[in-house]
Amino acid sequence: MKEKERKAGLLLHISSLPSKYGVGTLGEEAYHFVDWLKKAKLKIWQVLPIVPTNYGDSPYQSVSSTALNYYFIDFDILREKGLLKLSDYKDVKLGYEDNKVDYSLLFNGKIEMLYKAFLNFDSNNKDFLDFVAKGEYKDFAVFMTIKKIHNYISWDKWDKTYQNYSKELEEAIINDYYKEYLFWVWTQYEFLDEWNKLHKYANDNGIEIMGDMPLYIAYDSVEVWMHPEMFLLDQNKVPTLVAGCPPDAFTDDGQLWGNPIYNWQYMKDNGYKWWNERISKAFVLYDILRIDHFRGFDRYYAIPYGHVNARKGSWQDGPKFDLFKDKLDLNIVAEDLGTIDEGVRTLMKQVGYPGMKIIEFAFDGHSNNEHKPSNYTNNYVVYTGTHDNMPLYQYILDLKEEELEIYYKDLEKECELLSVKYLGEEPHKLVECVIELAYASKADTCIIPIQDLLCQDGKSRMNLPSTVSTDNWSYRILKENLSNELALRLASLVTKYRR
């Protein structure tokens, strides 16, 4: 097997980029960020799912598995295209803090401003008409049109006339609400135009974009509304089982995600058509695809609908290798974290995709801990933490005295094994050491969340799983965080460890 190139990258979602207008976008600051990555000699920019957010503002609970987040459309680009004037949006309040996304302000202000831009757009131009005719985002646009009619509530609360999808209903919606329907199609058209230009700019500068695909779909989604047969629902379209994780050392109640469970037998019978299309679309957008909760393809944890926690669930068989047997040449990263057993290990061997290691979990006094850098083989992506973890600096601050002693001892030993200089017991020095261990490790790819590179505390946490809070998904960086000094420090690590 050909040896893979060693690479380093950074995890930062688009929403977290600097911006004057409430949320990171695909505009000027995204290009500056690519320039900064190049200066830091980083080769991968990892983002979270770029789908529209819905309940709880989570990109893992979207109204569509393949639609694109219109919040990321850039006002200044729309102005350059003649669709908005600066006076239209310069005083629109879309956020109160530069380092935090306020989704309620975005929801109330950004859609209105985008609609204004759409009204100035020539919807009869040939390129757009071809895009509409192609129908790739028709389902999403119809769903969002009906959602708007119902003040954006969940589809199961709509008037009975609209709850059951039919071709006739779809045609009636397009006919009766054509302008509204076209607006939602246009959001996808505009996003793709901005995304494709940014993606090309990144690639031209030697940077690949790693996207992220959630395993599950939200109940309030176009897929569940249109294709209830793909999910385990009763005759009233209420889920019979929902997704989550069993209780573990971190939580007595487990994690209750609440997503409907797939009808894997149905999907197998039609040759996994929906999955094949979903993965194909992802590779049009990204160079590398991380698939979340990969263990769920081997066996998934299912909880009876209506339970208040995840204590009483059961493990059920997923599609296993059958779904991936024709996808072995794809550039996929498998998020193989959580409850790992022989079935998951077998599936990982069969697919050959790189798995993930999290150094935050490594220093517990056990020499056989698989997250210890000295225990890695090449075919992994190593992270200090993911979007679901407490930032490393705060994690260290929160350790109890006896845990901290083990942490110091373990970390120092790992540094010795990998010829990394141990910098002492000051928390920010420990963070620096852990990052260098990730770079020094055998793992082919090393990706660090920006919060850890900036040594930020718990207020910068991106998400606390199984909670709904305005703190989740709202983290943003400031322009000054992307300093020349940090770029040069990373560039020296890239050079030192041949990444």
Catalytic annotation present for 335: yes
Nearest by Cα to 213 from 301, 137, 281 = 281
Catalytic annotation present for 388: yes
Q: CA-to-CA distance for 69 and 95, rounded, in angstroms?
A: 18
Token pair of 353 as six digits:
């995709």
Nearest by Cα to 139 from 222, 243, 211, 48 = 222
Contact (CB, 8 A) for 496 and 439? yes
Helix ranges, 303-454 (H):
342-351, 392-397, 401-417, 427-440, 450-453
Of these residues, 29, 292, 336, 414, which one is catalytic? 292
Contact (CB, 8 A) for 446 and 439? yes
Of these residues, 180, 190, 335, 336, which one is catalytic? 335
DSSP H helix total and E strand total for the chain: 18, 12
Contact (CB, 8 A) for 419 and 437? no
Q: CA-to-CA distance for 438 and 434, rounded, in angstroms?
A: 6
Q: Tell me how far CA of residue 225 lies from CA of 19, 156, 465, in angstroms.
A: 35, 8, 26
Contact (CB, 8 A) for 296 and 215? yes
Contact (CB, 8 A) for 67 and 137? yes
Helix axes 138-149, 167-176, angle to 10 degrees: 70
Q: CA-to-CA distance for 155 and 149, rounded, in angstroms?
A: 11
Q: 380: helix, coil or strand?
A: strand
Token pair of 471 as six digits:
């703190």
Across the beta sheet with 355-358, what order do the strands follow?
A: 332-334, 288-291, 208-213, 44-46, 7-11, 445-449, 380-383, 355-358
Of these residues, 388, 425, 457, 471, which one is catalytic? 388
For the annotated catalytic residues, the residue numbers are: 292, 335, 388
